[in-house]
Amino acid sequence: MTNMEEIVAQALAKVDNDRYKLSLVVAKRAEELANGAAPKVNLDKNKVKCADIALIEIAQDKLQILENKVEHYK
């Protein structure tokens, strides 16, 4: 498995292996990042795609997911 495949597998586990829910959460968080939100992981938004950052944040439990709504840990 490649590194990104492992990240996707970890992120899927956080949403009960629901690919549709994961895609919604990634899209919402990627939009927030594109609109200026700071990443919750130590990555440069100019070098890494917003969707990839969102997946990594989900896989690393940096976001709390509530029914297709993204809440940031404080």
What sign does the CA torsion over 16, 17, 18, 19 have? positive
> What is residue 64's predicted lDDT score, i.e. its pLDDT?
83
User: What pLDDT, on the 0 to 100 scale, is given for residue 71?
Assistant: 55
- The pLDDT assigned to 70 comes to 52
Instruction: Evaluate whether 5 touches 45 at the Cβ level (below 8 Å).
Output: no
The per-residue pLDDT for range 13-52, each reduced to its tens digit, is 999 999 999 999 999 999 999 999 999 999 988 899 999 9
* Interatomic CA distance for residues 74 and 63, integer angstroms: 9
Q: Where are the domains of the chain?
A: 4-60
Q: Following CA atoms 19, 21, 58, 25 in sequence, which dihedral angle do they give, to the nearest 10 degrees?
A: 130
Looking up tokens 């968080």, which residue turns up?
29
> Which token pair is 18?
């629901």
Predicted pLDDT at 74: 40
- What pLDDT score was predicted for residue 68? 47
